[in-house]
Amino acid sequence: MTSLIPVECRGWWRIVETGTWPSDSLDYLGPAMLSLTGQDDRLRMHYLLAHVTAKPNKTGVSFRWKGVWEFDEHSGTGTVRVGEDGRLRGMFRIKGSDDSTLVAERADAPNKPIKDPPPFGPKWGWRR
């Protein structure tokens, strides 16, 4: 439900930096984005397309995600909060794999909807 996401976190965010992956590959599948609207939220970053389920926590938002990283099914979690500079800052985790910090800036919704993750198993036959 939209009203559950704290107003300072609600909306679309452009991921501009991570602590683990190089910035020049964050936009491989299109602009790296995280939506925290409370309705059909998405995450696109690096080689990841995922559906996001977010809920408020004491300092901001925690979320779970499920989707496809490179060619394989993956899931994970994250936590974010808005810093004093107005940027979204937090942690992103891939279950059984990498963790990373992330930084995002408020953005408009993308012009083209973020694609659904492809079916698990087959190699991706498309880019952007």
What the chain holds in terms of domains, given with CATH numbers, is: 2-107 (2.40.128)
For residue 62, which phi and psi values (nearest 5 degrees)? -110, 150
Residue type, 73: E
| pLDDT values of the chain reduced to their tens digit, one per residue, 128 residues | 445 899 999 999 999 999 998 888 999 999 999 999 988 999 999 989 999 999 999 999 999 999 998 878 999 999 999 999 999 999 999 998 889 999 999 999 998 888 888 765 555 554 44
Q: What single letter denotes the amino acid at residue 60?
A: G
